Amino acid sequence: MTDALGFQPDPTVRTNSLKIGCIGAGMIMAECHLAAYKQAGFPVAAIASRTKSRAEGVAKRWGIPKVHDTPEALIADPEIEILDIAYPPDQQPDLIRLALKQPHIKGILAQKPLSLTLQEAIALREEAKAAGKILSVNQNMRYDQSMQVLKQIIDRGELGEIVFAQIDMHAIPHWQTFLEGYDRLTLANMSVHHLDVLRFLFGDPTEISTQTRTDPRTTFKHKDGITVSTLRFPSGVLALSLEDVWHGPRSEGYDNDQHINFRVDGTEGVAKGTIGWPTGAASTLTYASRKTTGGKWVTPSWDTMWFPHAFIGVMEQLQHAVKTGEPPALTVEDNVRTVQLIEAGYRSMAEGRTVQLSEISIN
């Protein structure tokens, strides 16, 4: 639906008929995926997780008719047309590979990161292509309402030539327990949202420079806590992505101000706003353009949020691609380029230098 300014913060649901099998029963599935699917009318046929009792509880809450003993049993269920995975990334590739072999599964929605290594992400891309299946990756920040409208503003040319962009995060993520066994933390699991959305807005960067330090709050061993990445794009855009996951003390009586801000400066205008998830609010955006607003600040509005409403767009683009044969908006080929960018960021950290994306092959 478009607003009074002609923007569409949330995509239209064109297709919602294909039956979904959900793997995972944690927060992201129970609070985001399934809430979004209920609202959009996507049919969820079955669910499975590592713990069947937890899957049963989620199934009862959302009216899911079937609970399988294991993820593998769900994948074998001939009723499932689209597989939706919300599982740890070290276990996700095996599930994807099993699903690619099933004739009844037409599309797969994987979590990000697609895999723990670029090499495996490339392999999964090639295996999906060989199987003739659509593999899509859940880069849900692209469907945050502020990012959808920002993209429309940029594409209309209202800001002119883009000069500089930044995402400035000072907020405390919930690190899932499975991350404790990995050697990669913030860049792969939080910055991936921001780096991917910068690609969504401006295309593929040519270089990245990333610096990091450990986060005093995170007690398990990790290399990248607070991260700061600068990116340069062929168009000349210089961008900054900052993830301050420490954000000061978090204790009783301490009044913290968690927030995520963004800003895009162009030759004809500026857009700025907030990402709402740290405070449980809707994201915001305001912009001023010499070309279209007379230099006055204009604020588009919406009544939806990243969590859970952005997950409607993620599933819809896959449902529609499977039904029509059109390419999905979130292709695995595109996501491999995001994984390439993450890999380049880690190489920059390790070697203390700016890394050209051309150094890292994805062929």
Domains: count for the chain: 2
- Same-domain check for residues 297 and 151: yes
- Residue 268: which domain range? 142-306+339-356
- Same-domain check for residues 94 and 209: no
Q: In this predicted model, what pLDDT tens digit does every residue of 124-140 receive, in sequence order?
A: 999 999 999 999 999 99
Say how many residues make up the chain.
363
- Same-domain check for residues 316 and 262: no
- Same-domain check for residues 124 and 57: yes
Residue 107, Cβ density class (10 Å: 0-12 exposed, 13-18 middle, ≥19 buried): buried
Which tokens in the block code for residue 296? 């006055």
Strands (E), the chain: 20-23, 44-48, 82-85, 107-110, 134-137, 162-170, 207-213, 226-232, 238-244, 259-266, 269-275, 284-289, 297-298, 355-356
- Same-domain check for residues 199 and 302: yes
Which tokens in the block code for residue 240? 């900054």
Are 9 and 282 spatial neighbours (Cβ–Cβ below 8 Å)?
no
Q: What is the DSSP letter of 241?
A: E
Mean pLDDT of 153-168: 98
4 domain residue, yes or no: no
What confidence category does residue 250 fall into, taking pLDDT thresholds of 50, 70 and 90? confident
Q: In this predicted model, what pLDDT tens digit does every residue of 93-117 receive, in sequence order?
A: 999 999 999 999 999 999 999 999 9
192-202 vs 145-155: helix crossing angle, rounded to 10: 20
- Its pTM stands at 0.97
- Same-domain check for residues 154 and 301: yes
- Same-domain check for residues 322 and 284: no
Is the pLDDT at 206 greater than 70, yes or no? yes
CATH at residue 183: 3.30.360.10
Is the pLDDT at 3 greater than 80, yes or no? no
Give the residue from 329, 300, 310 showing the smallest Cα distance to 39. 310
- Same-domain check for residues 288 and 164: yes
Is the pLDDT at 251 greater than 90, yes or no? no
- Same-domain check for residues 163 and 243: yes
Of 198-202, 247-251, 281-285, which gets the smallest average pLDDT? 247-251
What confidence category does residue 291 fall into, taking pLDDT thresholds of 50, 70 and 90? very high
Average pLDDT across the chain, whole number:
97
What confidence category does residue 348 fall into, taking pLDDT thresholds of 50, 70 and 90? very high
